[in-house]
Structures are given as C-alpha cells and as structure tokens.
Amino acid sequence: MQEEIPAFLDYLDKRKIHTENKSRAWFQPKLIRTEALKKVIEASKPKIVRELEHRLKEMFTQFGNEEIYLSIKDIGEQFFEKNYKTDNDYISRTLKKHFPKVKQYTNKEGKITTKRYKIPFWRQTIDENGTETFVIAYKPAIGYPFVFKANGFFSPEEYQKFENTVSGNMIEYLPF
C-alpha cells in the first residue's frame, strides 16, 4: 500500500475537477445549504440568542406590533431570571454581536438618546360575572431602547403571514 501512495497523489494532482471553485469551501454555498445544515446552525447559537429570538417573535405575534422598543434593562427583566449570565453588559454584547440589524433608538440627528415608549403585556381582567379575560396593556417606560423590527425576526413566508394577520386585525394569540 505504501508503494501506491505516490501514484495516488499523482492521480489527485493531475485529475480533472468537474466543478469550478466558487467559494472558500469550493462549492457554491447554496448547493450545500440543506435543511440539516440550517438545523445545525440554529442549534449552535448561544442559548441567550435563541431565547431572545423566540421571545421577540412571540411578542410580535401576540401583540401584532411592527416595532417593539426595549432597553437592556427591560430585556433582562422581561425575558431572563436574574443570574450571572444575563447581566446588562452580557445582553448588550449579545445584541451587538448576534443582532447587527437591531440598533438603538436615535433622534433626527442620528444620536442615541432617551425615548418614551410603551412595552406591551397581557393584563388579566375579571368582569362583574367573574369571567377572567386577558387584554393587551402597555407599560410606559423611558430609557435608551433598542428598536426590534418584526421583519428582522421572521422568514419571508412567516413575515407575509404576520403582515396579513396584523393588517386584517386578526392577530393570532398564542396560548399561555
């Protein structure tokens, strides 16, 4: 077998390649992007990124907002229990690294500034008959919020469905 190695290397060196070099991985990325690869990429994201994506998609779907304003403090209080991994600095670094399209609110001059905004949430109400219902309410807030846009968190097909339900005022509420 050792005697065959030089001949095999010579064959590899002189053989005709049937595909062109299209990228660093040789093949065009669209040729190797399969559903399995997408699942691996999704599962490889840090837990905080997956949690933020899930919670924000849930908020867009439940409340029907095109934009949601949340500060670092709001994200920590709304989405995560208090622990060492989700302090404000860690959340800020995660947003900057994994959500490049998400920017902080800026004024007309393009400067990051404070803003008054409202955070949607579910409020439990009980009518005179004792019937329990949940209604959308808004908690007023002021701070340096990040602007989360619905079109950045849904696939094109999901966003189209989201637009149709919101524009038709037929918001699909997720079960609690």
| Domain layout of the chain by residue ranges | 35-107+144-167
N-terminal to C-terminal alpha carbon distance within the chain:
65
Taking the C-alpha atoms of residue 14 and residue 147, their distance in angstroms, rounded to an integer, is 55
pLDDT per residue, tens digit, the chain (176 aa), is: 899 999 999 999 999 887 777 777 777 777 788 889 888 988 899 989 999 999 999 999 999 889 999 999 999 888 887 665 668 888 999 999 999 999 999 999 999 999 999 999 988 888 888 888 888 899 999 999 999 999 988 888 888 888 877 765 444 443 33
**Can you give the pTM of this predicted structure?**
0.71
Phi, psi dihedral angles at 69 (to 5 degrees):
-105, 125
